[in-house]
Amino acid sequence: MNASRIRLIVAVLLATGCVATAQIENGSATYKRLKSYIDSIPAIDTHDHLWPFDILPGRVDTKEGNGLNLSSMWRNSYLSWIKRAPAFNKKDGIDGWWRRVETERTFENVRAMSFYRYTLLALKDLYGVDFESLDLEGIRDLDRRIFDNYRDPKWLNEVVTEKANIELMFNDPYWARYKFETSYPWEVMVFNQNPVITGFHPTLFNKPDDSPFRFAADRKLPMKTLDDYLKVVELLFQTAKKAGAVCLKTTLAYQRTIRFERVPKERAAKVFGRPPGKVSAEEKKNFEDYMMWRICELSAKYELPFQIHTGHAGIQGSNPMNLVDLIEANPKTKFILFHGGFPWVGEMGMIVMHSMRKGKNVWADSVWLPQISYHTAKRAFNEWLDVMPSNRIMWGGDCNHGEGIYGSTEMTRRCISEVLAERVDRGELKERHAKQIAKQIMRDNALELFPQLKSRLWKHTGMRLKPKD
């Protein structure tokens, strides 16, 4: 049978509905309707790292002054994990920077990568440019426009709340974890646990706003024993919650396995207060394991759900399956497992599915996943919707600039739109139910898990946000 006849038969079968399409193109009417609806949802972003405006990372000295420019966007994007753009030099200016980009072929082998493409989306939608088609004059103009935008913090407000249509955004301030301050009116405070889990000695900390020991010293509290330390940690919880923190967060997967054993208090007490150079790797893990279990208890006590980085870190130990024993032993703690567990997205689905028969205490968060691998994110959403209730899925941006936040938000909205449109067009889901699921993922699930946020909602209420002082 010749190729043209095969194509004709397949076309007839598709037209009559005898064969389901393997992929619905973005141009389908269903996709367009769903994407338009999803774009209209004021989103609740469950995780970002947006620094205070005056200390945004990537600032460079230019002939026009200090600020952020095109090189800042690329060097602070996730693409730098794979291929870092050249550093900016004031003397050479943007022309010299672009010559180095071309000479070093910075973008040559990464054009299909999600780490690259989410920034392209931002540049296209926010600046109206096709970055890959720009000549030198276009690069100069884009660079100038980015620099001008970042002269005023109003740009971040416009990008986040208007263009990305984010109503509230959780922010993990890893640059000053225990300062307990927010910088933006739409920011939701996150209480990072890395220092308290690992902090058996004061010399482990070189930043005062990260140190439980400094927190204790400022309040003239003793820190001689593990019992003293545990009292200070609980006071940190009380202080964080009073300041407005709504959840906990840890990224220990970058440093160690996320399998945490149940360690007796006596073992941890033997480690506390000893200089790091005199503590073995096994002893260090004992202390951290013990503290992780204590933090889970405090998470339940203070009703602060626990966001845990899984996957894409120390790959030898970041599979979310490592957390199953901890999760099952702490049914009153609400666990939010980040990044879809990439690449173990199926395992993530199984953990949430299994929890529905046990403590019902696990949520899957797709934060960062579409930027890591767009097609894995599509697979994840499809698999998760197969095995878990739709009110168990959330999303986040995980970026440190307005452009990154916009690009990751747009990528997530496209991904969810495609997944749901394909299901509708295959007859597996009614469109009204697809819209309900989309709204749950983008907004309602976070409001269900964090009901205290409802008092902070401001879009469509007539309330105007006041800038932070």
- How confident is the model over 276-290, as pLDDT tens digits? 999 999 999 999 999
Residue 138 to residue 418: CA distance in whole angstroms:
32
Residue 429 to residue 423: CA distance in whole angstroms:
6
CATH topology (fold) of 165-456:
TIM Barrel (3.20.20)
- How confident is the model over 39-50, as pLDDT tens digits? 999 999 999 999
Helices then strands, each counted (H, E), the chain: 19, 10
- How confident is the model over 200-255, as pLDDT tens digits? 999 999 999 999 999 999 999 999 999 999 999 999 999 999 999 999 999 999 99
Is the Cβ–Cβ distance between 94 and 140 less than 8 Å? yes
AA identity, residue 357: R
Q: Which residues contact 132 (CB under 8 A, 6 or more apart)?
A: 107, 111, 120
- Give me the pLDDT at residue 8, please: 41
Question: 26: pLDDT confidence band, cut at 50, 70 and 90?
Answer: low
Q: Which residues contact 362 (CB under 8 A, 6 or more apart)?
A: 327, 334, 335, 336, 337, 351, 352, 355, 392
Alpha helices for 128-246 (secondary structure H): 136-149, 154-157, 194-198, 212-218, 226-243
Instruction: Single out the residue of 321, 261, 319 nearest to residue 287, CA to CA.
Output: 261
Is the Cβ–Cβ distance between 305 and 247 less than 8 Å? yes
- How confident is the model over 319-349, as pLDDT tens digits? 999 999 999 999 999 999 999 999 999 999 9
Question: 21: pLDDT confidence band, cut at 50, 70 and 90?
Answer: very low
Residue 288 to residue 285: CA distance in whole angstroms:
5
Is the Cβ–Cβ distance between 62 and 143 less than 8 Å? no
Q: Which residues contact 179 (CB under 8 A, 6 or more apart)?
A: 173, 209
Max Cα distance, the chain (Å): 86
pLDDT at 23 over 70: no
Scanning the structure block, which residue is given the tokens 């503590």? 279
AA identity, residue 266: E
AA identity, residue 199: G
Q: Domain residue spans in the chain? A: 57-149, 165-456
Residue 341 zone, left/alpha/beta (φ > 0; ψ -120 to 50; rest): left
The stretch 115-136 carries a mean pLDDT of 98
Residue 164 to residue 142: CA distance in whole angstroms:
20
